[in-house]
Amino acid sequence: MSAPVRARVTVPGSKSLTNRALLLAALAERPSTLFAPLRSRDTLLMAAALRALGVGLTDGEDGSWQVVPAPLRAPAEVDCGLAGTVMRFVPPAAVLAEGEVRFDGDPRARERPMGTVLDALRALGADVAGDRLPFVVRGKGGLPGGAVTIDASASSQFVSGLLLSGARYDQGVTVRHAGQPVPSLPHIAMTMDVLRSVGVAVDDTEPDTWRVEPGPIQGRDWHVEPDLSNAAPFLAAAAATAGRVTVPGWPASTTQAGDGFRDILTRFGCAVDLTGDGLTVTGPDRLSGVDIDLHDVGELTPTVAALAVLGTETSYLRGIAHLRGHETDRLAALVAEITGLGGDAEELADGLVIRPRRLHGGTWHAYADHRMATAGAIVGLVVPGIEVDDIASTTKTIPDFPGMWAAMIAGESAPGRP
């Protein structure tokens, strides 16, 4: 085991908030400024998509983004990369352009489920050719909108994507969910919260139903919170090594799903302290096992699995069947990597069971998945000889993860670039 990690790590802005803010700013009535936005592959892809549609988006000297809305234009081509927020948030906005908007992305992106949101757009009056990437939205300068029922059990992004542009539809939009429970509900709560912040009338009082009234979207200044899910690997380093890590700027109140990591860490036996200085995690001498439902915080699963494999008791991670449709099939990938290093893990119908076993060194495969890569880095703090094969995949959401990780291990202040 490595020496206990002791560091202060400043984490860049939230991807989820940055991309929601960019899209709403593009559809607003007047210019907006995003302060401390995340600049990573996912957010740069969102910015490029909006520029392709005619939105003015310039860089401030302080790392901010200035967004000047304009009528959306076509023809245009949008590269979604592997960003779920781009492939699911931008098409509902692209219907407001006049002409063809073509969407494509990375090879794995072509496998990710898209039919739900594209069928919903058709039901609301859009002309869409295709059911997954690549596909074409033939914009008509607007959309009738109205009510639509979907099965969002594969991703909350299907709901959020429709809601974010809904105020610009003639009748607004009402999204009803019918099916198994929607995963990652905090992300829909975040969407409703940011819509309220720009003056949009919304209603989420009825279970599994979200209503956005038609009307103007206000421009505003956005001060983007640190990305709490991206903070998780650094806090996990304290848990794994019986160390101590502080992440400054942790909000006292937030809609980010990553805030749920605080409770998860206490279940592993960590001391967790939130003060005006930030969030400080102190790891225990021995990590406990956990039996936990991660349905609402599925993005944290690889990080939780990395701690579970280092624990002293069997862990059960439940409620995460939907992760089979993420950047990679995260359940299969985690089992493959853990067992490949001598561990004991197997898939459940809706999750994983991980049993303690001594691990050996070897290659941890990232599958071009940023959260798989950071999970391997956590395990590598404790197990000698582990090499993550594609640490560069972390640029999807963290601009300089290797530099921040190295600074943290060295006990230095590890600032995330804005």
26-59 confidence digits (pLDDT tens): 999 999 999 999 999 999 999 999 999 999 999 9
Mean pLDDT, residues 274-296 taken together:
96
> CA 374 to CA 233: how far, in whole Å?
6
Q: Summarize the confidence of residues 307-332 as an average pLDDT.
A: 95
User: Can you tell me the mean pLDDT for 59-73?
Assistant: 96
Reported confidence tier of residue 416, pLDDT bands at 50, 70, 90: low
Instruction: Count CB atoms within 10 A of the CB of residue 255.
Output: 19
Q: Is 299 a catalytic residue?
A: yes
Tell me which residue has tokens 């561990």. 343
pTM across the whole model: 0.90
20 is in an annotated binding site: yes
- The answer to the question of whether 41 is labelled as a binding residue is no
Catalytic residue among 29, 206, 299, 327: 299
Q: Is 267 annotated as a binding residue?
A: no
pLDDT tens profile 146-205: 999 999 999 999 999 999 999 999 999 999 999 999 999 999 999 999 999 999 999 999
The arithmetic mean of pLDDT across residues 352-373, rounded, is 96
Q: pLDDT digits over 198-225, tens only? A: 999 999 999 999 999 999 999 999 999 9
Q: How confident is the model at residue 228 (pLDDT cuts 50, 70, 90)?
A: very high
pLDDT band at 415 (very low <50, low <70, confident <90, very high): low
Q: Known binder of ligand: residue 140?
A: no
- Going from N- to C-terminal start, the domains of the chain cover 6-12+228-415, 15-148+159-172
pLDDT at 274: 97
Please list, residue by residue across 273-297, b when 16 or more beta carbons sit within 10 angstroms of its beta carbon and e when fewer do: eeeeebbbbbbeeebbbbebebbbb
Q: What is the pLDDT of residue 413?
A: 59
- Mean confidence (pLDDT) of the chain: 96
Determine the Cα–Cα distance for residues 387 and 369; give it in Å rounded to an integer: 15
Q: How confident is the model at residue 318 (pLDDT cuts 50, 70, 90)?
A: very high
Cα–Cα–Cα angle for 64, 66, 70, rounded to 5 degrees: 160
Q: CA 137, CA 101: separation in Å to the nearest integer?
A: 5
Inform me whether the pLDDT recorded for 327 exceeds 90: no
Q: Pairing mode, if any, of strands 32-35 and 414-415? A: unpaired
Q: Residue 411 has what pLDDT? A: 87
Q: How many of the other CB atoms lie within 10 Å of CB of 61?
A: 5
The CATH code of domain 15-148+159-172 reads: 3.65.10.10
Residue 311 burial (CB count, 10 A)? 20
The annotation status of 358 as a binding-site residue, yes or no, is no
Instruction: Consult the annotation and say whether 299 binds a ligand.
Output: yes
**To 10 degrees, what angle do helices 330-340 and 370-382 make?**
20
Q: Would 6-12+228-415 and 15-148+159-172 be classified into the same CATH topology?
A: yes
Q: 17 — alpha (psi -120 to 50), left (phi > 0) or beta?
A: alpha
Mean pLDDT of 97-113: 95
155 is in an annotated binding site: yes
Residue type at 192 in one-letter notation: M
Pick the CATH number of 6-12+228-415 from 3.30.1330.60, 3.40.50.300, 3.65.10.10, 1.10.10.60: 3.65.10.10
Q: Say if residue 16 carries a ligand binding annotation.
A: yes
326 in a labelled binding site: yes
Q: What pLDDT, on the 0 to 100 scale, is given for residue 418?
A: 39
Query: Would you say 413 is a known binding-site residue?
Result: no
pLDDT band at 343 (very low <50, low <70, confident <90, very high): very high
Residue 184 labelled as part of a binding site: yes
Q: How far apart, in Å, are the Cα atoms of 80 and each of 11, 88, 89, 113?
A: 24, 9, 10, 13
pLDDT for position 325: 86
